[in-house]
Structure 1
């Protein structure tokens, strides 16, 4: 896949445009700093909150928790970067590129772009959040090559469609509560039984709002597209891409042993045999389970099969690696924030505050709202369930409230918070090649709409 960069008409974006949405975009462009700078600001805010509200608020505890969290997240950071890189390699494959081009070829107007992006990306994200993240960015970029649209609007639509991922098959909270013996299966530890996906992902209170968010936001985005005179146009700028030969500095002829080894499928077949053999034996013994490492392995195997030769796959990963710099910078900072919130007890204090005022009917909603706040500070992909779960689940048992509603309230809030928290948007905008500030101006609308839809579903749908 050729590398593409997009250049905005800066003069067009300099003046404020008409309407609420345009005003939000204008405000985010001027008020929201780079995500790395924002993460530093959030660190300062969390330190102040810990000093004032946390039960363990000594300077020594804060410093120790920050240090531990900063480096404890590195394993998770590498997992997330590998999901991005291996997902990119899949989307980079010629067969997938042809599929994306075929989808994009049906688009002639901005309205059709939104009506295509939302169901495609929403379904991909529902299947797997990593797949949805990459497919969304690359589909938006492919459409932008063909149709004159406001590119920030299109990328924001893709990211908004992706927001439903925590209500899908890769939801870490839903999967952990459905997995016997999982370390984060707090329901099983408290009650002795698991909550199957039929009670969470496939329950009406989850899938109805998930579908509604995709459908409603698709039509809202159609209405939100800037007028023709306000569109910030992006044009594909093809740099002088290096050839495969140049990229490796190879001077030996194509018939040399090294060149033949690079193009041979034997290495690919070896890794495919190892990966498929492991998955087959593991799933046969333990049943089908899907976690982060398994997702990475599946993406690796799919990418190898689609790219065919080892050198083609290595080149795809090399291109993907160019998009990961900002992620490498931010993950340790958010790890430090998470460390402070957990180590000082600040996250527990926030969760406990909401639980103490709950009733059987309102507990799932309070679980949802507390998760909303926690996720804005620590975008953890379900990881803060280990902090929030021990407070909301005992409350649900004592109040006889719905355990599936209470648990999925936490996951739904992550869907919503991601529309204001730029952490997960970083890889999207990196692949797309656009500044994040203009994207967040649009996703602020998604935040409001999805906040209401998911909240209403938790309250009204049994």
Structure 2
């Protein structure tokens, strides 16, 4: 009589490709050894301060630039926080939830569902990276409820992240492009270097739109082709993740003062007032100019979210759930502003700042032709340690844009080089995954194997396009407001 050995559960990573296994191991290492993103920006503050000292700047001048710069970016910090909040309240509104359910009925296979999530997420990212994260996560959950598809939930989660990992910086919520289009949001030290660069010279360049199109098509194909087939797919049920819809408990008004919280009267009045202002903004200028103003952009999303939630109570519940996702922005962006001030402010006896030292290094090591590639690689590497498009731009812009001026590289294209390259490390950096992972009920290691595969293919394609398309543009000096 034979005896049967107890069945051992196979290692899920062993069923994936070599590239996916490498990505899973890399993320496991990063989760074990990498501290919170705040630690990286704190280290950056110390390094820049030491660099300014080594450059010969007086210690009191360094301390003063830190304090003066710390609060210089508060408007932009709040604007970025509202990008997150606005995207969340719109994506979680009942009409959008109904739209998500309808969209989830379209795919016919599990692999098709993964490709569909990738496409929907990236399209929404052109409007708002905050919207894309939440929308993509909710769509993946809705598709996971269709158990007959046998969709790999991990691959779908990675596809839901492609908006932030591939295309968001090429769209309307690009932090660098928004900053450069809004002189009131730029640090005073940066404005003379870059001038004002409108959207027509950044995200709406035909070269930028071509890269966005290539990234979109390529990412959907990779997402579909890398998704496991039904016999090897790991579903949400297999992972022990519940994907049932959560309905907020709004309760009933028990006191007279609570009645207005559940009535749409104030919602309608607020939307009318806000809508009138938004209409005036679009009527008095081109829509490109209007939407490039972060205040208009954010109020548009907040107003739409308020209207879609209909009742103030439901809207406030959505806002309260969105606020925790802004914690990193609120505490880190002031430090980024302080670093920018320390890079450009304190000077040595010869009148040279740290930013100018780095600029000279960039210029000496590059030509006009090589600048897009070197800046792209540098931005991508730095992006893993400083996972913030807007914050990191404030660190890089003082010296890379000065180098672009000296090498006569189109300044708008330099912004787009940064945008396209900066998004790449997001594919393996857990920082911006957190809001999405909270919705999916997964860990970073569950999805990064698939996103790492995207990174390996994106990197050479993006760098080539940034280099080749740079030759189609002509340099123009900075334009002051």
Structure-1-length-normalised TM-score:
0.79
Tell me the SS of whatever aligns to 1:364: helix
Q: Distance in 1 between matches of 2:245 and 2:97?
A: 19
| Deviation (angstroms), 1:101 | 0.9
Cα distance in 1 between the residues matched to 2:16 and 2:365: 42
The 3 A distance-change label for structure 1 pair 387 and 27 is closer
Aligned length: 441
* CA drift at 1:105: 0.4
1:92 counterpart = 2:96? no
Map of 1:172 onto structure 2: 175
Where does residue 350 of structure 2 map in the other structure? none
Q: CA deviation at 1:350?
A: 5.7
Post-superposition CA distance 1:64-113 (Å, at most 9, x none): 98898888877766544443333222222222112111111012322211
**Whole-angstrom distance in 1 between the partners of 2:191 and 2:46:** 36
Question: Residue 127 of structure 2 contacts residue 171 of structure 2 at CA under 8 Å; is this kept in 1?
Answer: yes
What is the root-mean-square deviation of aligned Cα atoms in Å? 3.9
C-alpha distance in 1, partners of 2:33/2:305?
30
User: Quick one: which of 363, 367, 376 aligns to 1:359?
Assistant: 367
Shift of residue 16, structure 1, vs aligned partner: 3.4
Corresponding residue for residue 461 of structure 2: 453
Alignment of 1:21-420 (within 5 A): 21-28=19-26, 30-33=28-31, 37-39=35-37, 42=40, 46=44, 54-56=51-53, 79-146=79-146, 147-162=149-164, 163-178=166-181, 183=186, 189=192, 195-228=197-230, 230-235=232-237, 236=242, 238=244, 243-245=249-251, 252=254, 257-258=256-257, 260-284=259-283, 288-318=290-320, 320-321=321-322, 324-325=323-324, 327-328=326-327, 332=331, 336=335, 339=338, 343=342, 353-420=361-428
Query: With structure 2 as the length reference, what TM-score do the two structures score?
Result: 0.77
1:125, distance to aligned residue in structure 2 (A): 0.9
CA distance in 1, matches of 2:63, 2:37: 17
Structure 1 CA distance for aligned equivalents of residues 248 and 173 of structure 2 = 37
Contact 2:117 2:136 in 1 (8 A): yes
Aligned to 1:435: 443
- Secondary structure, aligned partner of 1:55: helix
Offset at residue 31 of structure 1 (A):
1.7
Distance 1:229 1:283, change over 3 A: closer
Shift of 1:298: 1.4
Aligned equivalents of 1:380, 1:300: Cα separation in 2: 22
Q: Secondary structure at the match of 1:434?
A: coil
In 2, Cα distance between the equivalents of 1:121 and 1:388?
A: 28
Q: CA deviation at 1:428?
A: 1.8
Q: List alignment gaps of at least 5 residues for structure 2.
A: 1-8, 345-353, 473-481
**Cα shift at 1:51:** 8.1
Gaps of 5+ in 1: 1-10
What is the alpha-carbon distance in structure 1 between the residues aligned to residue 103 and residue 150 of structure 2? 16
Shift of 1:405: 2.4
CA distance change for structure 1 residues 14 and 62 in 2, over 3 Å: closer, same or farther? farther
The answer to whether the 8 A contact 1:161-1:214 is kept is: no
